[in-house]
A and B are shown apart, each in its own frame.
Chain A
Amino acid sequence: MSSAINFAFLDEYAKREIRRSVLKAICIPGYQVPYSSREMPMGRGFGTGGLQLTLALIGEDDCLKVIDQGSDDSVNAVNLRKFVEMTCPGINTTTRLQEATLIQSRHRIPERPLLAHQILVLQVPYPDALVIVEPSEEKRKTMHGEADYSRLLVKLYEDIVKFKEITISHRYPTRINGHYIIDPSPIPRYDVPKLNQSESLTLLGAGREKKIYAVPPYCSAEPLAFNDVPFRIEDFTGANGERRTCMICSTSNSFLDEFIDEQGSRVYQCSDSDYCAQQQECVHG
């Protein structure tokens, strides 16, 4: 890489702006701090929000893990990891969660709980949970400030009337520290409780929508629900009444992806590829 490119690609002014936004995001848990979101050498919507956070945070002592839908090997993860390796000489990358100090992820929170020294960066396509009930951002900002989420609750109620269940599968509206409701990015419901009182800091970056927000450690994150209709996560119980297991590592306590195999039957496997590999190591030594 030519030395004409600054360490971590962004110039120092861009980094300082992201730093100021990150600290305000931590101070106002769940509030979407606007920032300028610089042009990156990849399209918006390919994780530029998460990438800018990672680049503003990363230093030479860091070890980075990038995952996409739980996998270290999918296209988005590989490309982002290569970009950071190219522009940040001296840093390390890994696929093992325990070795990582920074974890950038799309659509999943790792299976194993994160520790205090680790920072999770989530890529966010749509940061505002209120966008489905209010098109004007100006009005949404007032609603957020007043913690006025009645229309969002009506939307959930309508779901129950129509389908007898809240039908949101991912991007589940979650209330942070009893005030702001966030879109926790397209993580499945299964991952939402991991944000609550977590040991690590979670930062969320939306590049196209130019917002940064945060869930600090030891902070409440409550999925929106009703007293008589509690929040529930995905149910992996099979037809035989037992919980489905991963076809590769046989674990029965992970979030599973469903596939159709060559014979046309449904098979299940861990979505978190690193967790699956480590489970196999445990079994096979």
Chain B
Amino acid sequence: MIEAIWQPEIQQAAFRQLVKAFSRPGQIVNLPMCNCDVALAVLAALVDGESSLADPHKQLDRMDWLRLQLKAFNPELAAFVVCQGNKPVDFEPNIGTLESPEQGATLVLRVDALAGGEKLYRLTGPGIKTVQDIAPQGLNATWFNHRVSWNNAFPLGVDMVLTSKHSVLSLPRTTHIKELS
């Protein structure tokens, strides 16, 4: 029996939850229907052989790569990079060009949990009515530090998706992050 996430209707449902997450940065959105690792669900809904994916921390197994129908890419060039959030940043992702900012990478960061972390961050920007607070657990501080320089010159930048066991939270390049504690 093939896992649910490889079925088109489950990928569609996952995508709709991603649309919700991306249009409302910082909101924790559940992907219960996938019944598998949520980072893999994000990739299954978005990535195939027509895109590019890097896995610098070796989180995908051989079967995942076969089902995603692509081969590993260099993280500095890939459109999607799946990373382990507790590791420090060890590459410079593609931030796109002034003419084609959509080529800026999407980073899928696996963390322990999306809430309950020690550090509290306050988000503002498009998609957020006033402010949105987040406190992810198991996210190395270097990701947000580097994000500042990657996203320094809008429209260039990277977009992030933090994933936990069952849910996602997105941080588009337009979201401003301020550390509260």
Listed in ascending order, the chain A residues whose CB lies under 8 Å from chain B are: 6-8, 12-13, 15-17, 19-29, 31, 33-34, 56-60, 119, 138, 141-142, 145-146, 177, 179-180, 201, 214, 216-220
At the interface with chain A, which of B19-27, B86-94, B114-122, B134-142? B19-27
- Report B93-130 CB contacts with A as 1/0, cut-off 8 Å: 00001111110001000000000000000000011110
List, sorted by A's number, 15 A–B pairs whose CB atoms are closer than 8 Å.
Answer: A6-B8, A7-B9, A15-B8, A19-B46, A20-B51, A23-B22, A23-B46, A24-B102, A31-B155, A33-B102, A57-B16, A142-B98, A217-B24, A218-B129, A219-B127
The one of A24, A146, A217 in contact with B127, judged by C-beta atoms closer than 8 angstroms, is A217
B165-181, CB < 8 A from A:
172-174
Q: Are B45 and A19 in contact (CB under 8 A)?
A: yes
A119 to B23, CA, bound (A): 11
Given contacts A216-B126, A217-B127, contact A22 B19 (CB under 8 A): yes
B5 to chain A, nearest CB (A): 13
A179 to B159, CA, bound (A): 18
Given contacts A21-B102, A145-B99, contact A12 B79 (CB under 8 A): no
A217 to B22, CA, bound (A): 10
Q: Are A16 and B99 in contact (CB under 8 A)?
A: no
A77 to B47, CA, bound (A): 32
Q: Are B98 and A29 in contact (CB under 8 A)?
A: no
B15 at interface, CB cutoff 8 A? yes
A22 to B46, CA, bound (A): 10
A18 to chain B, nearest CB (A): 9
Given contacts A12-B8, A16-B48, A26-B172, contact A217 B23 (CB under 8 A): yes
A20 to B53, CA, bound (A): 13
A216 to B16, CA, bound (A): 14
The one of A27, A145, A214 in contact with B173, judged by C-beta atoms closer than 8 angstroms, is A27
Q: Are A27 and B159 in contact (CB under 8 A)?
A: yes
Please indicate the chain B residues that have their CB under 8 angstroms from the CB of A19 in the complex: 15, 18, 45-46
Beyond A27-B22, A27-B172, 17 additional contacts (C-beta under 8 Å) are A8-B12, A13-B50, A15-B12, A16-B46, A16-B50, A23-B18, A23-B106, A23-B159, A25-B102, A28-B155, A28-B173, A31-B155, A142-B99, A177-B126, A217-B126, A217-B127, A218-B129
Listed in ascending order, the chain B residues whose CB lies under 8 Å from chain A are: 8-9, 11-13, 15-16, 18-19, 22-24, 45-48, 50-51, 79, 97-102, 106, 126-129, 154-155, 159, 172-174
Which of A12, A23, A34 has most chain B Cβ within 10 Å?
A23
Please indicate the chain A residues that have their CB under 8 angstroms from the CB of B23 in the complex: 26, 201, 214, 216-217
Given contacts A142-B98, A218-B129, A219-B127, contact A59 B46 (CB under 8 A): no
Q: Are B45 and A179 in contact (CB under 8 A)?
A: no
Please indicate the chain B residues that have their CB under 8 angstroms from the CB of A58 in the complex: 12
Given contacts A20-B51, A23-B106, A141-B100, contact A218 B155 (CB under 8 A): no
Q: Are A218 and B127 in contact (CB under 8 A)?
A: yes
A220 to B8, CA, bound (A): 35
Given contacts A29-B126, A145-B101, A218-B127, contact A60 B173 (CB under 8 A): no
A98 to B45, CA, bound (A): 29
Which of B11, B126, B174 has most chain A Cβ within 10 Å?
B126
Closest to A14 in B: B50
Q: Are B154 and A31 in contact (CB under 8 A)?
A: no
